[in-house]
Amino acid sequence: MNLIIVLLTAALIVNCLILMLLVLMQLPKKEAGSGLAFGAGASDALFGSGSGNVLTKATKYIAGIFLGLSLLLGILNTQAAKSRREGVGQYLGKQATTVIAPAATPTNSQFLQIPLAATNAPAPKSTTNK
């Protein structure tokens, strides 16, 4: 799936470059001259006098492809992130069950034996001055 995402991202970058060029080549609304990309009269020489209609149609199609590629990449990236997250969750779940698994109960011999004070030991002497 990662290869598909990389290829579609490359296609989206190429599509963006083409879309920028198409927008720059279009005539302004006042039709005072050609677009900024080729200078005065260059777009008429390249695409003919009716290039405004061709360029606007091409811009619409390229913009539609841009929208479709963007949506498709968004969906594919979401699915890839979900699958990665589920994989990490399963891995952490396995780790948690192995770490939290209860150990065997200790026997009396495993505890540290501390002798209690002897019952017949003398009481401590008071050291207060009288």
Secondary structure of the chain in HEC code, one letter for each residue: CHHHHHHHHHHHHHHHHHHHHHHHHCCCCCCCCCCCCCCCCHHHHHHCCCHHHHHHHHHHHHHHHHHHHHHHHHHHHHHHHHHHHHHHHHHHHHHHHHHHCCCCCCCHHHCCCCCCCCCCCCCCCCCCCC
Average model confidence (pLDDT) for the chain?
Answer: 74
- What whole-number distance in Å separates Cα of residue 36 and Cα of residue 25? 6
The predicted model scores a pTM of: 0.53
* Averaged pLDDT for residues 101-130: 58
Instruction: State yes or no: pLDDT of 59 exceeds 60.
Output: yes
Q: Which of 1-10, 16-25, 46-55 has the lowest mean pLDDT?
A: 46-55
Where along the chain do its domains lie?
A: 2-101
